[in-house]
Amino acid sequence: GKILFNDTIIERKKIIDIEDRGYQFGDGIYEVIGVYGGKLFMLDEHLERLERSAKELQLALPVRLTILKEKIVELVSTNGLHEGVVYLQISRGVAERWHQFPSDDVTPVLVAYTKVEETLSDAENHGAKAVLTEDIRWLRCDIKTLNLLPNVLAKQKAIENNAVEAILHRGDIITEASASNVFIVKSGELYTHPADNYILNGITRRKIFALCEKLNMKVNEETFTVAELLRADEVFVTATKLDIIPIIKVDDTIIGDGKPGDIVRNIVEAYRHSIQELVSD
């Protein structure tokens, strides 16, 4: 397929320079946007978050957002992507390797490509296992940066234990998971970590808030502990394309009755419905 390189759609080829700051320092940001039936899900929200990440890192966007939006839509249709994701990253650009920002004539490099990916419907329907691991990340997890080494290590631990996710705790407090947000259900209400510097404010997370409002379910943006997670009635994780995965076991502890609970099943149904609306729109 083709890729987007700054504001131009070109053939995919090797374009990354060894002195690209994304490559050398992880100095850059990214987004992963879901595509269903050839349509981009919550594209505006992803672009807004991209703009925020850029601002927090004093990184100038190389393409105006209105243009970028058109180009992403064009890329999806050019590549004929039906179901999958658009991966988009912006690095601070190519410059001689010094830690400090390069001079102003160095422009950030934007690259985006499409990837075929199917929803994990088996895990979504039947639930999956997670492991717990210490959150060893920095204190600006709200920025979607390319620096993902702690997330990589956590996810690897999950996979080695036949789990879909690694749920992270900072001391006693559950923050999020290696590549998703975590919700628990307690006495009919939902709880998830507040959107501060300790978590990424997921686009799927925000969609859950909107769906729960319609379903008349209360979501509390409040921290909860490891012990509260382990004795929750239900646990689930949310992320783009992962969608919503009920967690039925954490390490050796069975959650609830070991099956996806009623609340998460209602939310999954509402979520699928909103995607169906997008596809048939």
Q: Which residues lie near ligand PMP (CB under 6 A)?
A: 32, 151, 176, 179-181, 200, 202-205, 238-240
Residue 79 or 180: the one with the smaller Cβ distance to ligand PMP is 180
Q: Tell me the closest approach of the beta carbon of residue 255 to ligand PMP, in angstroms.
A: 20
Residue of closest CB approach to ligand PMP: 202
Q: How many helices (H) and strands (E) does the chain have?
A: 8, 15
Which residues are CB-neighbours of 95 under 8 A, at least 6 positions away? 19, 21, 102, 103, 106
Q: At residue 20, what is the residue type?
A: D
Check if the beta carbon of residue 203 is closer than 8 Å to that of residue 229: no
The Cα 191–Cα 186 span in angstroms is: 8
Measured between alpha carbons, how far is residue 26 from residues 55, 93, 128, 145, 168 in Å? 16, 11, 31, 7, 21
Q: What is the DSSP letter of 154?
A: H
SS3 100: coil
Check if the beta carbon of residue 181 is closer than 8 Å to that of residue 206: no
Q: What is the DSSP letter of 115?
A: E
Q: Tell me the closest approach of the beta carbon of residue 254 to ligand PMP, in angstroms.
A: 25
In 10 A of CB 275, how many CB atoms? 17
H or E element in which residue 274 lies: helix 262-280
The Cα 191–Cα 212 span in angstroms is: 12
Residue 79 or 204: the one with the smaller Cβ distance to ligand PMP is 204
Active site residue 144: yes
Residue 40 or 203: the one with the smaller Cβ distance to ligand PMP is 203
Structure tokens at 184: 């628990």
- Which of the following is catalytic: 71, 129, 144, 241? 144
Q: Tell me the closest approach of the beta carbon of residue 95 to ligand PMP, in angstroms.
A: 27
Residue 94 or 130: the one with the smaller Cβ distance to ligand PMP is 130
Residue 8 or 197: the one with the smaller Cβ distance to ligand PMP is 197
Q: Tell me the closest approach of the beta carbon of residue 30 to ligand PMP, in angstroms.
A: 8
Q: What is the DSSP letter of 145?
A: B
SS3 212: helix
The Cα 248–Cα 19 span in angstroms is: 44
Residue 95 or 211: the one with the smaller Cβ distance to ligand PMP is 211
Return the active site residues: 144
